Amino acid sequence: MNNRKKVPMRKCVATQEMKPKKELVRIVRSKEGDVSIDLTGKKSGRGAYLSKDQTAIMLAKQKNILANHLNVAIPEELYNELLALVEKEKQSK
């Protein structure tokens, strides 16, 4: 029998690539309109997945993709947090 687990796939809103969920970071807008990074993938609210890649984050910032997807203004600090997160993960590998 085949006992391999199915890998959940999600689409990056910036690059439109399908990737395993673990290779993406989820950005969530709560009902109150607060936007935050969801590292667990379990926060409630409207979510958008973004590749853990500096070029994807910069593309999302440049074209305002997250703001359009989540229907809320995205603060500059969130993009800085995302870039720091990607840099930290790159260094830990």
Is residue 91 pLDDT above 60, yes or no?
yes
The whole-angstrom separation of Cα 80 and Cα 22 is 20
Would you place residue 2 in the very low, low, confident or very high pLDDT band (cuts 50, 70, 90)? low
What totals of helices (H) and strands (E) does the chain contain, helices first?
Answer: 3, 5
- The residues spanned by each domain of the chain are 9-92
The whole-angstrom separation of Cα 47 and Cα 49 is 7
- What number does CATH give the domain 9-92? 3.30.1230.10
Is residue 1 pLDDT above 60, yes or no?
no
Tens digits of residue pLDDT in 21-43:
999 999 999 999 999 999 998 99
Tens digits of residue pLDDT in 47-72:
999 999 999 999 999 999 999 999 99
